[in-house]
Amino acid sequence: MVLKLPDVRTDLFNDWCAGCGDFGIEASLQMALAEMPIDINQVVLFSGIGCHGKIVHWTNTFGIHTIHGRTLAFAQGAKLANPGLEVIAIGGDGDGYGIGAGHFMHAGRRNIDMTYIVHDNGVYGLTKGQASPTQRLGEQTKSLPQPNINSGVNPIMLALSAGYTFIARSYAFDTRHLKETIKKAVAHKGLALVDVLQPCPTYNDIETKAWYGGEDRKDASGRPISRCYDVNKEGHDPLVSQGTKEDEIDAKVQRIFKLSKEWGDRIPIGVFYQEEGTPTYADRILGRIPSYLERPPAKQEIFDATKKSIVDLGKLGEELTVKRLHVT
Ligand code: SF4
């Protein structure tokens, strides 16, 4: 049941630079939330530090603007405490693949049922355009005195090796594609990554909107030939289920590796990988604490009428490992 549609907070001044790809991501997210059969009062957005972080201020859901690189830590904690929430974490490429890289990797091992959207623009926009972890080796965006001496990380393969069960890439100004990708990610049962290619017109003067859109190369009728193409429309099947044979998975992973490295004239977007049937973290907890979904931490009383704590940590310990340790 949809109780309330998200909309733009008109009481707050939006200070993203004109032409920033963040606008496309914000619009796509709001459209996706409006079109999905979810209760907007149960949606919580988390953001980190960077230009992307303001998105939680301008979307009319619950939202928490967290600290640098810790978006996933906050978001996972909220989802574990209250599994009924629809949790969407939002980060930047510097925030998520740099300082937050440890959280990024370990989140994949848990497969918590939530979505992570990364604004990927190749620079640290908020701090004047230093090279971010996804900036490619040898690139020299306008703030750099010399070309980047580090190789760029590959978010698709990082996520695949970490255990994310839904991995997609989209483009900020293809709002229809991004909206549909976000909807698929939110509907997926497990941890979903949407890496969003996002022009930063202020500091990234290489991967610009005109470049992504192919304004520098036109067809016979003078129309630009966009660099982004949809891998799923070109036959890539991302689905891996419990019955998929090992050699099929190997072939799929090899294809994803190839696709994830494709850059320049053609840039793949779409769903690269979707694994169905892998237990979520809630499923795994249920194996130990059968009452988890009925009485998750956020729904438990912690004080009695006299404000005295009634938390029984002893019982929790017994249910987890203490009892076993005592027996053995
Ligand atoms: Fe957008 Fe770049 Fe401006 Fe940040 S610095 S708001 S990423 S254009």
- Closest ligand 1 atom, residue 203 Cα: 2
Residue 11 is predicted with a pLDDT of 57
Among 25, 47, 51, which is best to mutate for testing ligand 1, by the most ligand atoms less than 8 A from CB?
51
Residue 314 is predicted with a pLDDT of 75
Q: Quote the ligand 1 centre to 80 CA distance (angstroms).
A: 33
Which helix H or strand E contains 258, and what residues bound it? helix 246-261
Residue of 230, 100, 248, 238 lying closest to 165 (CA atoms) = 238
Per-residue pLDDT tens listing for the chain (328 residues):
444 455 555 556 678 999 999 999 999 999 999 999 999 999 999 999 999 999 999 898 999 999 999 999 999 999 999 999 999 999 999 999 999 999 999 999 999 999 999 999 999 999 999 999 999 999 999 999 999 999 999 999 999 999 999 999 999 999 999 999 999 999 999 999 999 999 999 999 999 999 999 999 999 999 999 999 999 999 999 999 999 999 999 999 999 999 999 999 999 999 999 999 999 999 999 999 999 999 999 998 888 899 898 877 776 677 666 555 555 5
pTM: 0.92
d(CA 175, CA 189): 23
Residue 20 Cβ contacting ligand 1 at under 6 Å: yes
Residue 201 Cβ contacting ligand 1 at under 6 Å: yes
Among 54, 118, 143, 200, which is best to mutate for testing ligand 1, by the most ligand atoms less than 8 A from CB?
200
Residue 173 is predicted with a pLDDT of 98
10 Å CB burial of residue 1 (0-12, 13-18, 19+) is: exposed
Residue 125 Cβ contacting ligand 1 at under 6 Å: yes
Beta-carbon contacts of residue 21 (< 8 Å; ≥ 6 apart): 119, 121, 172, 173, 196, 197, 198, 199, 200, 209
What tokens appear for 289 in the block?
Answer: 């604490």
10 Å CB burial of residue 234 (0-12, 13-18, 19+) is: exposed
Q: Quote the ligand 1 centre to 129 CA distance (angstroms).
A: 9
Residue whose CA is at the smallest distance from ligand 1 atom 6: 16
